[in-house]
Amino acid sequence: MAPAILGVSAAQVSILINTQLAAWLGDGRIAWISYADRLMEFPSALLGVAVGTVLLPTLARHGGEGDETRYSELLDWGLRLSLLLAVPAAIALWLLALPLVTTLYQYGRFGVADALATRAALIGYSVGLIGIIAVKILAPGFYARQDLKTPVRIAVVTVAVTMALSFVLMEPLGHAGLTLATSLGALFNATALLVLLRRRRYYAPVRGWGMFAAKIVVAAGVLAGVLAALGGPASAWLQASLAERGMRLALLIGAGGLAYFGALWLLGFRLKDFARRERGPEIAPVAADE
């Protein structure tokens, strides 16, 4: 379990290190990063951990049976599904950073300055959310092959890269530079895993990725436009009551979800396209004389 845990925990280790670095920047930085981390971890766990956990047993079965085609197709399905849901989550974390922070945190001694600082940290995390989720899909591709060393090696390099970026970015961007460094490290981690999966011929993308990605980009653009148009100025969130924030945020999330999935539906996406039913293991027929 130890190498497997380390292989998918590069982002979490980086967050832990950056939390300590944040203490050098002054009071409040650790709290702002921690509050932002809670919001980032929700879609990460909901999408990445859940899908990765579901994929691993079936990937391991296909790998053990030597069924390379079904193994690669299943990994491809996991990547498409995670991308389909991670892209709008990342956009929402970016454009709804202040609405989320003010609605969930701005009461008691958590003031306007804290809300704005936490928003900056959350925006930094949103840049790498897709990478953080993708790592939890790609790493099981190695585990299913009994290859625990490769994800660990990449994770170690990722932590080193993240630390270097943290020292570079914390000077001009402060605590937001630390969360941005974590995001860039996660994107590096996911890219390295994907490249090695393809280089070792564990994974071959199924045809249609170009059109799939183009449709996601169009729907994401629609989502971003709707959220930007309806979000309103920062002052409207900072000065509103908790009830007003909650109601407006719920309406924004509903409008954004309708815009994104409505655009996908108009572009030809259907839920049945992502339904996957695994066949059981093949059973050899029994001869009559047996």
How far is it, in rounded angstroms, from Cα 286 to Cα 136? 41
What lies within 8 Å, CB to CB, of 257 at 6+ separation is: 88
Are the beta carbons of 96 and 249 closer than 8 angstroms? yes
pTM for the predicted model, two decimal places: 0.85
pLDDT at 3: 62
Average pLDDT of span 37-50: 84
Tell me the C-alpha distance between 201 and 181, whole Å. 30
Q: Which residue has the higher pLDDT, 30 or 17?
A: 30
CB 186 within 8 A of CB 166: no
Task: Tell me what the mean pLDDT of segment 172-192 comes to.
Answer: 92
Residue predicted with more confidence, 197 or 55: 197
- Give the per-residue pLDDT at 1: 64
Quote the pLDDT of residue 277.
60
Can you tell me the distance from the alpha carbon of 30 to that of 24, in angstroms, rounded to the nearest whole number? 10
φ, ψ of residue 278 to 5 degrees: the values are -80, 135
For residues 55 and 143, what is the distance between their CA atoms, to the nearest angstrom?
Answer: 11
| Mean pLDDT over the full length of the chain | 85
